[in-house]
Amino acid sequence: MAEVRNVIVIGGASAGYTAAIYLARAVLSPLVLAGENAGGQLMFTSEVENFPGFPKGIAGPELMAEMRAQAERFGAEIKNENVTKVDFAGEIKRVWVGETEYQAKAVVLALGAMSRMLGMGEERLLGRGVSTCAVCDAAFFKDKTAFVVGGGDAAMEDVLALARFTDKVTLIHRKGEFKASKIMQERIKGKNIPVLWETEVIGVAGENKLERIRIKDKAGEKELPADGLFLAIGHTPATDILKDQVELDSHGYLITKLTSNKTQMNQEIWLNDYPTQTSVIGVFGAGDMVDIRYRQAITAAGMGCMAALDAEKFLTGSISSW
């Protein structure tokens, strides 16, 4: 029979590692199932300049390695294993990696979300001209030629972020009209941002960095010089294994008491409840699988801290100490 642990953290990036640090410092000996691709999207980020404490910046993989080492220093057990099934029905939560079963009194979910890609080979240039986060990377493209792909609010926000650093930014949209909110569309018009309508990016070129993109419109195909290609075509939360176990929204994002439209946010939630708890008692959520808006390493880390503190209070029964 599997050992019943205090807490299992599923996910190994900003949220998961931060949760592990806090839980380990609370002497709860967390088991972290970080996944075979531990580190999440930051593993594709060459330079992180907006994470506090690193005035000269830090490479994404290095930041993840440091956070992992910090969690291990305090006693977290971390395994690069992919969770394949969960059962949260009972008081003891059950988690499987293949045929191996783990059990715990509490679980912190921090599986993240993946940016959707175009699927034409652009992944090889992630962090080298291709990006999925203009808020993170816009400053690297000062006075450079950049393109944003998308038609929703996220694409508009990316264009506006880039426009602060370069006047050579163009929006590419495969349809003839945006789905973005009217106010965001007006902001783009106010900046006189050029738009390539009914156009698709069908290829990228460059050896060690992005040099050109290939586009297709009604007139045919052509290549354009490009320093940056920003993809703003949505995210997919990593919640497949959680279906029928916890409540998810219509887009697959994990719902917690902080994000549920069934919860009236008031002082009671913050003082006498667990804001990061999901629809299942003893299961908490953090990071990009919950966050549909900010999607930053620092906000994910903050949510990981919150989930860990909630899990600690749940396990120790000391919620009144808030």
Which residues are marked as active site?
A: 133, 136-137
Is residue 309 within 8 A of residue 22, CB to CB? The reply is yes
Measured CA to CA, the distance from residue 206 to residue 252 in angstroms comes to: 35
Question: Backbone phi, then psi, for 236, in 5-degree steps?
Answer: -120, 110
* Contact call for residues 84 and 36 (beta carbons, < 8 A): no
Q: How big is the chain by its Cα radius of gyration, in Å?
A: 21
Residue located via tokens 């804001």: 275
β-pairing, 200-205 vs 212-217, is antiparallel
How far is the C-alpha of 7 from the C-alpha of 308, rounded, in Å? Answer: 9
Q: Which two tokens stand for residue 317?
A: 């029964």
